Structure 1
Amino acid sequence: MKKISIFIQTACAIFFLSSCEDTMDDLKVAETNPVVLSELAISNIELDPVNNNNPAVTFNWTMANYGQQTAVNYSLELSSDAAFTNPVATGTVNGNNTITLSVAELNTAVGNVGLPPFAWNAVYARIVSSVGTQTSLPVASNSISFNVYPYFNYPFMDYYLVGNATASDWNNNNNNNPLFRDASNSKIYHYTGFFGAGEFKVLETKGLWQPQWGTNDGSSIDVNTGSGSDPGSFPSNNNPIATAGYYSFTINYATNTYSFTPFDIAALPSYTTMSLQGTAITTTAMNQSSFDNHIWYVNGLHLTPGDLQFLTSAGSVWGGSTSFSGTATLNGENVPVVVEDDYDVWYNDLTGHYILIPLNL
């Protein structure tokens, strides 16, 4: 039997003469028998992204007995295999023998254990009891299994250019160029390319004028979400781009700041064709923008889990290590495609920025 002794030591002090007397109380805590996790009333759980706050599943188990009146921790662990090779702690309660996961919580949990979306797969659950803040004397329960059909949470926002300085003009649904999301900071977006003389704004959804971003004072970004006045245009209100050319635009939604600076393309190559290749797709030619020949795109392209690269007319191959968006490098890693869907795929050969925008997630 394993035991934990908790020693409580008291000290007393008297001015000028000091004497100490130790007292010790031993609280003996014995390892419990495993708790019993009950089977679920249902064996198949299909997760609905529309009602993701609804309860999805409730787990119940017997109470542990550590031989003392002490608070007991109960941790719910999920795994993709019965051996719990890489278990994921999903929730913890103290002194209670039931836990309920919402649809969103269960969807996140099964994603964390590695279950793919849009497919039925088995997931295994168990309860680990322990005592104290150090979760001492952990004991695992029996395991149960059930089948789950998860959905995919697309965690990012996408933004689009509109304005007479851009390829789409003042049309909010004209194959508008997307901003390229920074791979390391999802609040930062970039667009480097050709801008005509004029001005532009940023939209969140193609076909809708709000939410709409611009600038009123030329130093920070302003937004109209639909209940106020539209902001002024970039690069600064009442001060449009005077000379058409290549510029680099960066917008930071965390700090509400932006920059707009000239960009020199003199030393950079131009390509006549660009193709997508990889295990996620059969080799597919990309379209070259007629407004800016360094911007390439394919709309509504069906991709399956796998990877892809960008193949240029010069035979060079560019790739990146981050899914959905990132910066490709020459002979870099393959861009991971983590979920099957139809995508708008955009690539900027000036900077290597790429973005894969799912259309149904």
Structure 2
Amino acid sequence: MKNKFLILTIICLGLFGLKSCTDDDNFRFQTPAEVEQLTITNSLLGEYLLSTQTFPNIAERFTWETPDFGVESNISYNLEYSVDGTFENPIVVGSTTETQLSINVEQLWNLATTELGLDNDPETFLVDDNGDPILDEAGNPIPNDSGEMFFRVVGDLGTNEADNSPSSISDVQILFVRLLSNDGGGEVALRNLFLVGDATAPGWDNNNNNPPIVRDPENQNVYTFTGKFLGDPAAFKLLEQRGAWQPQWGLSEGALASSEDLGSDPDVFNIPGGEGYYSITVDIDNATFDIQSFDESGSTTFATIGIIGSATTGDDSGWSADMDMTQSTFDPHLWYMTGLELFDGEAKFRADDDWAVNWGANTELTGFASQDGPNIPVAAGTYDVWFNDLTETYVFVRLEE
């Protein structure tokens, strides 16, 4: 009898243990009454220019703050895309447990072409339900190369994305993209680098007429600049877009690095000596950075420097008079013009409204000019134009309208 009772007791205990295990397996999150909304912190560009030549480049790095779920747990995040902004059938672009995620040009391009139906063929246009071209206010067909893309970030409590897991969803981010054709125009997607920091004229203001540095037209991943820097000590970084902190370039363990490579902001560049003139060289291919002192004591300080040529007017009348540039109050060897409308044509720089001292070169957008050099080719558009008389270098920064 005792044996039978013992066996029955063991069976009951086993059944109780099995029920307990089952209850553990069915554990469900206790959702907080209110979940904090996920907040995206990166700034978006006005327009994203997408080119097949720049597929590997980072188009945007989404960053956000960790939302408060009211409980301690891991959080998994999805970057989602919606073709119409409703997110009824979102496409997950990427997932992470960090608070940032990058999307490159190729990913944006593929979404824009396969989901949004855009293309970079200059001969195709938007059409209505009848297949007729849609016209703009001027009566011209609207190219089928640009549109709005909708993104959001969704954070889920835990890493398994259980059905009952609470979510925190960001506001919708709208990226306006334009696909560049392959028959010219791809040059506008080239990377520019701008100075920022307390060693430079704009200080740590990322949208204060920040000077660009010169991109080598023979090697588009090498940049140089010679000019005045503050020291004792003073620091600076390089930005790819004025008005935005990402992407930014600096140092990591002594090597050149970008925020896109690191997933965080790099360290600053430091001026090794006191206030003075220095030459810097940035080589993205080899991840190197070099800074050397520069003796400008024997250099001429000009009273005026201007831009002249058919590009200023659209015809040869532009060769008859200079458009004077503004001399930097921080560095008298640096000259600029902002928001300058130029036409298809050619241009040169010259000093004191006279041909005795003039500079030119045969490369668009950036270059190393020389006395009596060739005319600079210019494509129609609106530009910020910079000229450095110490190194006879120039940069045309095209502004997108």
Tell me which interval the TM-score lies in, with the shorter structure as reference length: 0.5 to 0.7
Change (3 A) 1:50 1:357: closer
Aligned match for 1:234, one of 251, 258, 269: 269
The answer to whether the 8 A contact 2:49-2:189 is kept is no
* 1:76-91 to 2 correspondences below 5 Å: none
Alpha-carbon separation, structure 1, partners of 2:342 and 2:353? 25
- Establish whether residue 321 from structure 1 lines up as the match of residue 362 from structure 2: yes
Alpha-carbon separation, structure 2, partners of 1:263 and 1:194? 9
User: Which residue identity lines up with residue 262 of structure 1 in the other structure?
Assistant: S
* 1:346-361 to 2 correspondences below 5 Å: 346-360=386-400
- Establish whether residue 217 from structure 1 lines up as the match of residue 253 from structure 2: yes
Aligned match for 1:296, one of 335, 349, 361: 335
* 1:169-248 to 2 correspondences below 5 Å: 169-197=203-231, 198-218=234-254, 220-225=255-260, 228-235=263-270, 240-248=271-279
Query: Any idea what SS the aligned residue of 1:221 has?
Result: strand
The answer to whether the 8 A contact 1:51-1:103 is kept is no
Alpha-carbon separation, structure 2, partners of 1:51 and 1:310? 32
User: Which residue identity lines up with residue 279 of structure 1 in the other structure?
Assistant: S
* 1:1-361 to 2 correspondences below 5 Å: 103-104=119-120, 152-153=185-186, 154-197=188-231, 198-218=234-254, 220-225=255-260, 228-235=263-270, 240-281=271-312, 282=318, 283-313=322-352, 315=354, 316-337=357-378, 339-360=379-400
Query: Any idea what SS the aligned residue of 1:200 has?
Result: strand
The answer to whether the 8 A contact 1:196-1:241 is kept is no
| Equivalence for 2:146 | none
Deviation digits for residues 27-83 of structure 1, max 9, x if unmatched?
xxxxxxxxxxxxxxxxxxxxxx97989xxxxxxxxxxxxxxxxxxxxxxxxxxxxxx
Per-residue deviation at 1:225? Answer: 2.8
Per-residue deviation at 1:223? Answer: 1.5
User: Which residue identity lines up with residue 343 of structure 2 in the other structure?
Assistant: T
Alpha-carbon separation, structure 1, partners of 2:256 and 2:241? 17
The answer to whether the 8 A contact 1:322-1:335 is kept is yes
**Moved beyond 3 Å, runs of 4+:** 49-53, 102-107
Q: Where in structure 2 are there 5+ consecutive unaligned residues?
A: 1-47, 53-117, 124-139, 141-180, 313-317
Per-residue deviation at 1:313? Answer: 1.9
Query: Any idea what SS the aligned residue of 1:225 has?
Result: helix
Considering only aligned residues, what root-mean-square deviation do their CA atoms show, in Å? 2.6
The answer to whether the 8 A contact 1:250-1:260 is kept is yes
Higher helix share: 2
User: Which residue identity lines up with residue 287 of structure 1 in the other structure?
Assistant: T
Change (3 A) 1:225 1:302: same
Equivalent pairs counted in the alignment come to: 219
Per-residue deviation at 1:267? Answer: 2.6
Per-residue deviation at 1:105? Answer: 6.6
Deviation digits for residues 109-158 of structure 1, max 9, x if unmatched?
xxxxxxxxxxx9xxxxxxxxxxxxxxxxxxxxxxxxxxx9x883224111
The answer to whether the 8 A contact 2:304-2:352 is kept is yes
Per-residue deviation at 1:265? Answer: 1.2
Per-residue deviation at 1:164? Answer: 0.3
The answer to whether the 8 A contact 1:213-1:222 is kept is yes
User: Which residue identity lines up with residue 339 of structure 2 in the other structure?
Assistant: G
Per-residue deviation at 1:227? Answer: 7.8
Query: Any idea what SS the aligned residue of 1:322 has?
Result: coil
The answer to whether the 8 A contact 2:51-2:189 is kept is no
Per-residue deviation at 1:229? Answer: 2.6
Alpha-carbon separation, structure 2, partners of 1:52 and 1:276? 30
Q: Where in structure 1 are there 5+ consecutive unaligned residues?
A: 1-48, 54-101, 108-119, 121-147
